[in-house]
Amino acid sequence: MGWIVYTLCALTAALCAVLLLQSYARSRYRLLLWSGMCFAGLTLNNLLLVLDKVLLPDVDLSVWRSAVALAAMATLLYGLVWEAE
């Protein structure tokens, strides 16, 4: 049952990333770009979670998952701090 939740989380994050980046392409509002990039990173984080917990349960990918999540959040934080109008 857990793999369904992990997969749905990855799909939701991917959909958010696509929608945010499409909005950025139309409006050129930079905060949408940073948010879309953050959600793209969170999608990768969720895919690593599926790999870690479902496909490769004997391999510990928690360090990689944490690094990807940190990079995604740092991207959004950079956008919020430096692109403020």
Give residue-wise pLDDT tens across range 19-70. Answer: 999 999 999 999 999 999 999 999 999 999 999 999 999 999 999 999 999 9
3-24 mean pLDDT: 96
Classify each residue of 7-29 as buried b or exposed e, where b means 16 or more C-beta atoms within 10 Å of its C-beta: eebbeebbebbeebbeebeeeee
* Rounded distance between C-alpha atoms, residue 8 and residue 24, angstroms: 24
Q: What is the pLDDT of residue 85?
A: 61
